[in-house]
């Protein structure tokens, strides 16, 4: 006879439940997976409840959907933390024997609305907080060693589309859900449609996601653990792509020393356009001409002339006064110069294209939008623990590997149902 | 672990399944091959109800057959490791667990034992 096992002091488990691989929730694992799917992918827990009722003939309360999704999210978070511990101990192994050829980690931050816990019903102390998101992508290698696109795409040289792109980027970055929704409603046409189909591009393969409310240091370890699990450290070509945020460079240098660091080209473009137009307000032609010259240098990775050009513009306008407003042209141009200087070693775009590495962080921007569909709404105010949990389940469903199924197939048993509540045996 | 039921019991179970399957067939076809079902929705609903009931029955009986549901007269306490002996398996209280599944609610029973030393209830496995 096999004895039962006490996992944690004070708790014990039914080995029959372990044998059946069932948890304590009163739902079969397949049904739990459906509840988690609805909780993670519908816009709200109420909508998830309705979907379960209609699509799975499962009647349950909104609160129950929320609790189960939260529990599974916390369990996924524990698994992630265990992977981090293994990574820190040097015990982490890649999931697959064959490493990817081209791999890129895209990093960025998003926004979420939190509220204070306690104090009864209603939202108290609402405030915005940062989420941190990592997008892990593998790509097919490209053939040859020539730059597949030496000239900038037409979209970056078309004034109305550049203006719209810059507006979109500012809106998405600067704020809340209703603004980005409003802008979406007015701009149906995709911005970055490429009109040059003959250009060879690296094909995107498998995406996985990591997201957290935690600070940069723990996030860095989460990113490292995921990269290790996916064999990114062993990839032939590997990059970290970011928008130049002051936390991304140090994170990449600490955790990914052998990786190529790439500055998102679109953020650079926004800075260059802002600087060129700020210095020539009301004079569209010279502004555009300056922008185009800078853009072409940037596109081909010619950082020195670009810095010299921005420097010259700074000198022409003069230094910004100490308390210059945000829209002061001298401040805008000076910030652009600072941005280019501090990211100069991440702008070798011609070589990145030759290698088949991505030069924009649109992948993580798009991923953040997909997170936002679930977590960021005008009426959504999360408690910090709840936000972390929903990010974990959302990340699992936005990942294109088998982690959703693997989790449910190997879910550890929870506390035994019926603990201490049966009458003593006679 | 050894299956608790004999070949004869399995045969009896098979008969019961067949009887239930017959019942499902009758619910669907009746005596005239249509049983009053006209629209596709009516047919679909009836077929799903009948087969869901069969699926639930299969799950429940399969769980009953699991040798872990009642491990016998003597088991070891998972906490202190000492023996917990009942004079007969029937003395062990059977706890009912309910599960929602994709085909509706199923129930199964598992034997609970109480260790007189640890004063803990546990659910051993055979």
Last residue of a domain, one of A367, A399, A421: A367
Q: How many residues are given for chain B?
A: 126
Q: Is B84 helix (H, G, I), strand (E, B) or coil?
A: strand
Q: Do B112 and A419 touch (CB under 8 A)?
A: no
Residues A256 and A321 in one domain: yes
Instruction: Report if residue A170 sits inside a domain.
Output: yes
Q: Is A395 helix (H, G, I), strand (E, B) or coil?
A: helix
Measure CB to CB from residue A425 to each of B68, B91, B101 and give the nearest one.
Answer: B91
* pLDDT tens digits, one per residue of A49-105: 999 999 999 999 999 999 999 999 999 999 999 999 999 999 999 999 999 999 999
* Residue B101 with chain A: CB contacts under 8 Å: 27-28, 30-31
Which has the minimum average pLDDT: A27-31, A120-124, A275-279, B11-15?
A120-124
Residues A363 and A403 in one domain: no
How many pairs of residues across A and B have Cβ atoms under 8 Å apart? 95
Residues A264 and A394 in one domain: no
* pLDDT tens digits, one per residue of A136-194: 999 999 887 889 899 999 999 999 999 998 888 776 555 544 444 444 434 445 555 55
Distances (CA, A) of B125 to A4, A241, A415, B10: 7, 52, 16, 22
Last residue of a domain, one of A337, A367, A397: A367
In terms of residue numbers, what domain contains A264?
102-367
Chain B closest-CA separation from residue A15 CA (Å) = 6
Chain B closest-CA separation from residue A73 CA (Å) = 21
Instruction: Report if residue A2 sits inside a domain.
Output: no
Chain B residues 48-87 within an 8 A CB cutoff of chain A: 63, 66, 68-69, 71-72, 74-76, 78-79, 81, 86
Mutate to test the interface with A, among B63, B122, B126 (most CBs of A within 10 A): B122
Residues A124 and A223 in one domain: yes
Measure CB to CB from residue B102 to each of A22, A30, A423 and give the nearest one.
Answer: A30
The 10 Å CB-count burial string (b at 16+, else e) for A95-127 is eeeebbbbbbbbbbbbbbbbbeeeeeeeeeeee
Residues A147 and A201 in one domain: yes
Residues A228 and A84 in one domain: no
Residues A103/A106/A107/A110 CA torsion (nearest 10 deg): -140
Q: Do B102 and A6 touch (CB under 8 A)?
A: no
Residues A227 and A189 in one domain: yes
Residues 6+ apart with CB under 8 A from B53: B20, B24, B104
Q: Do A418 and B125 touch (CB under 8 A)?
A: no
* Residue B81 with chain A: CB contacts under 8 Å: 3
- Sign of the alpha-carbon torsion through A318, A324, A327, A333: positive
**Phi and psi torsions of B84, nearest 5°:** -120, 115
* Stretch (H or E) spanning B97: strand B93-101
pLDDT category at B69 given cuts 50, 70, 90 is: low
What residues are paired with A359 via a beta bridge? none
Residues A41 and A149 in one domain: no
pLDDT of residue A182: 40
Long-range Cβ contact pairs of A146-153 (< 8 A, separation 24 or more) = A146/A354, A147/A350, A147/A353, A147/A354, A148/A199, A148/A200, A148/A201, A148/A353, A148/A354, A149/A196, A149/A199, A149/A353, A150/A300, A150/A350, A151/A299, A152/A295, A152/A296, A152/A299, A153/A192, A153/A194, A153/A195, A153/A196
Indicate the number of domains in chain A. Answer: 2
* Residue A423 with chain B: CB contacts under 8 Å: 93
Q: Do A12 and B75 touch (CB under 8 A)?
A: no
Residues A267 and A289 in one domain: yes
* Residue B114 with chain A: CB contacts under 8 Å: 422, 424-425
Answer for the pair B87, B102: CB distance below 8 angstroms, yes or no. Answer: no
Q: Do B66 and A19 touch (CB under 8 A)?
A: yes
Q: Do B72 and A1 touch (CB under 8 A)?
A: yes
Residues 6+ apart with CB under 8 A from A273: A162, A163, A166, A291
Residues A155 and A58 in one domain: no
User: The complex's ipTM?
Assistant: 0.80
pLDDT of residue A186: 42
Residues A69 and A179 in one domain: no
pLDDT of residue A327: 86
* pLDDT tens digits, one per residue of A323-372: 888 889 999 999 999 999 999 999 999 999 999 999 999 999 999 999 99
**Phi and psi torsions of B29, nearest 5°:** -100, -25
Mutate to test the interface with B, among A4, A61, A421 (most CBs of B within 10 A): A4
What are the residue ranges spanned by the domains of chain B?
1-65, 69-126
Chain A closest-CA separation from residue B95 CA (Å) = 8
Residues A354 and A390 in one domain: no
């Amino acid at each position: 006879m096999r004895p039962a096992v006490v996992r944690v002091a004070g708790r014990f488990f039914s080995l029959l439940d372990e044998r059946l691989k069932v948890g304590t929730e009163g739902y079969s694992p397949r049904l739990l997976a459906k509840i988690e799917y609805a909780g993670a992918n519908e816009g709200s827990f109420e909508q998830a409840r309705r979907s379960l009722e209609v699509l799975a003939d499962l009647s349950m309360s909104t609160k129950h959907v929320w609790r189960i999704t939260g529990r599974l999210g916390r369990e996924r978070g524990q698994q992630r933390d265990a992977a981090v511990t293994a990574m820190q101990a040097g015990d982490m192994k890649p999931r697959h024997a064959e490493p990817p050829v081209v791999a890129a980690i895209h990093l960025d931050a998003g926004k979420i609305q939190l509220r204070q816990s306690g104090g009864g019903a209603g939202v108290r102390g609402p405030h915005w907080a940062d989420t941190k998101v990592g997008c892990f992508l593998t790509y097919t290698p490209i053939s040859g060693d020539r730059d597949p696109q030496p000239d900038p795409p037409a979209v970056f040289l078309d004034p109305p589309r550049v203006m719209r792109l810059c507006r979109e980027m500012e809106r998405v970055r600067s704020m809340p859900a209703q603004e980005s929704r409003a802008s979406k409603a007015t701009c149906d046409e995709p911005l970055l449609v490429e009109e040059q189909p003959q250009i060879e591009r690296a094909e995107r393969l498998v995406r996985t996601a990591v997201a957290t409310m935690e600070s940069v240091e723990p996030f860095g370890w989460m990113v490292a653990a995921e990269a290790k699990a996916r064999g990114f450290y062993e990839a032939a070509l590997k990059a970290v792509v970011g928008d130049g945020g002051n936390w991304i460079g140090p994170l990449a240098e600490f955790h990914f020393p052998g990786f190529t660091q790439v500055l998102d080209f679109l953020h650079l473009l926004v800075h260059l356009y802002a600087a060129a137009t700020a210095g020539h307000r009301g004079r569209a032609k010279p502004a555009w001409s300056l922008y185009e010259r800078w853009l072409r240098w940037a596109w081909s990775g010619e950082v020195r002339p670009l810095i010299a050009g921005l420097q010259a513009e700074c000198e022409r306008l003069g230094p910004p006064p100490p308390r210059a407003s945000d829209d002061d042209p001298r401040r805008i141009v000076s910030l652009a110069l600072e941005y280019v200087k501090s990211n100069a070693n991440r702008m070798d775009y011609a070589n990145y294209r030759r290698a088949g590495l991505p030069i924009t962080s649109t992948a993580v921007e798009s991923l953040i939008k997909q997170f936002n569909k679930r977590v960021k709404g005008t009426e959504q105010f999360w408690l910090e623990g709840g936000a972390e949990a929903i990010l974990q389940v959302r990340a699992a469903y936005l990942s294109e590997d088998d982690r959703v199924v693997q989790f449910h197939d190997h879910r550890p048993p929870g506390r035994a149902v019926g603990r201490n509540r049966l009458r003593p045996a006679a | 672990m050894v299956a608790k039921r004999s070949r004869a019991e399995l045969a009896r179970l098979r008969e019961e399944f067949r009887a239930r399957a017959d019942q499902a067939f009758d619910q669907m076809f009746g005596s005239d091959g249509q049983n009053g079902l006209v629209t596709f929705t009516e047919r679909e609903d009836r077929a799903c109800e009948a087969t869901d009931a069969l699926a639930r029955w299969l799950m429940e009986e399969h769980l009953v057959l699991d040798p872990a549901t009642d491990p016998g007269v003597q088991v070891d306490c998972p906490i202190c490791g000492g023996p917990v002996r009942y004079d007969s398996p029937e003395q062990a209280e059977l706890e009912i667990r309910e599960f929602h599944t994709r085909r509706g609610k199923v129930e199964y029973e598992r034997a609970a034992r109480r260790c007189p030393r640890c004063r803990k209830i546990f659910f051993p496995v055979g």
